[in-house]
């Protein structure tokens, strides 16, 4: 499905069921996210093998991996608003799981006016990070890329076989 994307092997495919045809665009979008998550997992595993590190560190795999909306927009040549819309559709249909990630700045206050003044000062000092500095509750945080986990199955076959209700049609 997403074989035209950045060095994806030509015989790789996302397995989906006929019932998923109604939601084909969220399924394809989740396929791209899953491919990027799998490539991050593979790179992390290979780095552990090349460095000669201990095996018990390699086996501690993370469940969620970061992918920026800007990266997805650049790969698909979509706007960021479209990426966010497809991301939420894929999440609603259960193809991916999303976690927000934040980095604390250490600035806390119960006064919202004071937090807004700190936010304005940080936006002037760091204009490249101005959109990612937000107020969450009673503290000022920097929003990081969302963390993703996919719920898809990837197969490598010479001939893609159709699936009907979980059974391979022969």
Exposure string of 40-66, with b = 16+ CB inside 10 Å and e = fewer, is eeeeeeeebeeeeeeeeeeeeeeeebb
> pTM value?
0.69
What is the structure's pLDDT at 92? Answer: 92
> In whole angstroms, what is the distance from residue 56 CA to residue 43 CA?
17
What is the structure's pLDDT at 61? Answer: 57
Q: SS3 for 23?
A: helix
| 102 sits in which H/E element | strand 96-108
Q: What is the pLDDT along the chain (170 residues), one digit of tens a residue?
A: 444 455 566 666 777 777 777 778 888 888 888 888 888 887 777 766 666 666 655 555 567 888 888 888 888 888 999 999 999 999 998 888 999 888 888 888 888 888 888 888 888 888 887 778 888 888 888 888 888 888 887 776 655 555 554 554 44
What is the structure's pLDDT at 81? Answer: 93
Using CA atoms, how far residue 130 sits from 103, 116, 170, in Å, is 14, 13, 56
Cβ partners under 8 Å of residue 63, min gap 6: 149
Pairing state of beta strands 139-150 and 133-136?
antiparallel
CA angle 102, 37, 94 (to 5 degrees): 80
Domain ranges of the chain: 12-100+146-168
């Amino acid at each position: 499905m997403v074989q035209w994307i950045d060095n994806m092997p030509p015989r790789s495919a996302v397995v989906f069921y006929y019932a998923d045809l109604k939601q084909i665009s969220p399924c394809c979008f989740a396929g791209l996210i899953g491919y990027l998550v799998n490539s991050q997992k593979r790179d992390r595993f290979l780095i552990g093998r090349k460095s000669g590190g201990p095996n018990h560190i390699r086996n501690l795999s993370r469940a969620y991996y970061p992918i920026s909306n800007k990266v997805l927009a650049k790969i698909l040549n979509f706007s960021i608003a479209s990426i966010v819309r497809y991301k939420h559709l894929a999440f609603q249909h259960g193809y991916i799981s999303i976690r927000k990630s934040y980095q604390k700045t250490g600035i806390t206050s119960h006064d919202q006016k004071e937090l807004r003044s700190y936010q304005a000062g940080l936006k002037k000092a760091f204009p490249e990070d101005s959109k990612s500095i937000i107020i969450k509750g009673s503290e000022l945080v920097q929003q990081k890329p969302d963390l993703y986990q996919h719920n898809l199955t990837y197969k490598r076959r010479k001939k893609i076989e159709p699936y009907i209700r979980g059974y391979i049609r022969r």
